[in-house]
Chain A
């Protein structure tokens, strides 16, 4: 009997937490179908009194939503793939090769994660400007190619792949490049999935940097569009909520698709067995 009671209590707690988690989303999504007047109305109702899709139309009129969306998808996928590749190969070299200064290099990479972004953003901007990369995707992609976090995760993971596996391949005469691409890479699938999810989310939401370096409207990204609703004198809440609702869809899909590998990947990277 107590087992059954425990089960009920446990499920109820989880459900309550779930409701608390979901409620603001429901409010936001339902509000995206309301007029601003109703969103701010004194007499609050959860369901829209006057159902309107005007916010979604406005959102599209204020900025070329589909184009922004597509730009974001491309940039995010390119950056994510590059980061996965560089993190894995750096992780491999840092964990399986021994050379002088290795720990120093790794320690440095770890410490880069702690630098507040506002310190470096202006010098970085000036630099990109002098490279002549402004208003091109080079400015978005190249400075984001390596990730301290990604390298850290991959190093933790790959150091757990037994050396024997690599040695065996070496004896078979495989070159190091082949070992990396055909053995290490496939064996890191789960960690790659977890880096993919983190990196996709970060690149997808990053706002200030793309805004600063991209000028042409046709090249702009979605996260920048989200800020357009915050005006000089007022915020267009309806359109903001509509755009947010749409913009979290891809990240959620990515997460749902890779959930299993994501969790397995974190398990193999962050916890030392």
Chain B
């Protein structure tokens, strides 16, 4: 690292720096570090705030997490869910952003606004609407495609159905992100490629795509963080069913914490999930070969 210190620091610089750094430290200590420490300590206890139970258990909760078959299943589901949704989010986002960037398309602003609409709509409402659309008898989806599938009750289709809904809700975010990415590409490079006679595919493959890598990384990382914490769609659409086939890791945490009030166990799950998120995020940085955030 070896940060270079400027020799002269004005008084006002020191004052501003100290105020801001102190404010940050106080804020993050009070509203994040302390609660996290409390929760971390709680993860070693049988902790139920309602009955006032707080008994030391040692590593019991963590042992339970790793021996629980349900956590295993839900972790696999979470990974499938995140990977598939992220691939589609990135793919659709990139594709549509490029299309919208093309000179061949009119009404760009209109499309941009349309695709962004689901992003700003509360998940609760969206999940209810889609639950209606998936209804085997009265749902739009079966009616339009002439199918007879019990989407949310068939273990083969339930998770897919939830993923489709999530992709629908979120791809607009990636579209806007990639439009921003394309907007900031250096136009001279693109011009040069054109003059050199590169086909549009070659330009895309060898110039646009690599230049968009930081944006892709940004989208992927924010997606990992938010999908690992996703549970509202499960709560409303399937409640983890049929059986336990659509349990996601965060849904178990929600269920343990706010339905069963096993706060100790829920905290242990949260920390395991936090570690997994951190590892995945770090891996994304690695894969992209970009060491610095």
Please say whether the chains A and B touch (CB closer than 8 A): yes
Interface residues of A (CB under 8 A from B): 3, 6-7, 10-11, 13-14, 17-18, 20-25, 27-28, 39-42, 44, 86, 89-90, 92-93, 97-100, 102-103, 105-120, 122-124, 126-127, 143, 145-146, 152, 170, 175-177, 180, 201, 205, 207, 223, 226-227, 230, 235, 237, 240-241, 244, 247-248, 251-252, 255-256, 259, 262-268, 270-273
Closest B-chain residue to A3, C-beta based? B104
Which of B62-70, B83-91, B155-163, B262-270 forms part of the interface with chain A? B262-270
Chain B, interface size category, equals 35 or more
The reply to whether A205 and B122 contact each other, CB–CB distance below 8 Å, is: yes
**Distance from B152 Cβ to chain A, minimum over Cβ atoms (Å):** 16
The reply to whether B121 and A248 contact each other, CB–CB distance below 8 Å, is: yes
**Distance from B179 Cβ to chain A, minimum over Cβ atoms (Å):** 6
Supplied contacts A126-B38, A271-B212, 9 more A-B pairs, CB within 8 Å: A11-B105, A14-B99, A22-B114, A107-B293, A116-B250, A118-B250, A235-B128, A267-B181, A271-B184
The reply to whether B21 and A123 contact each other, CB–CB distance below 8 Å, is: no
Q: List 5 A-B contacts (CB under 8 A).
A: A24-B118, A114-B281, A175-B12, A205-B123, A268-B184
The reply to whether A21 and B172 contact each other, CB–CB distance below 8 Å, is: yes
Interface residues of B (CB under 8 A from A): 1, 3-6, 10, 12-13, 15-17, 20-21, 23-25, 27-28, 30-32, 34-36, 38-39, 49, 92, 96, 99-100, 102, 104-106, 109, 111-126, 128-130, 132-133, 137-138, 140, 143, 168, 172, 176-177, 179-181, 183-184, 186, 212, 214-215, 218, 225, 228-229, 250, 253-254, 257-258, 263, 266-267, 270-271, 273-274, 277-278, 281, 293
The reply to whether A259 and B105 contact each other, CB–CB distance below 8 Å, is: no
Q: Which of A17, A108, A110 contacts B293 (CB 8 A)?
A: A110
A180 to B20, CA, bound (A): 12
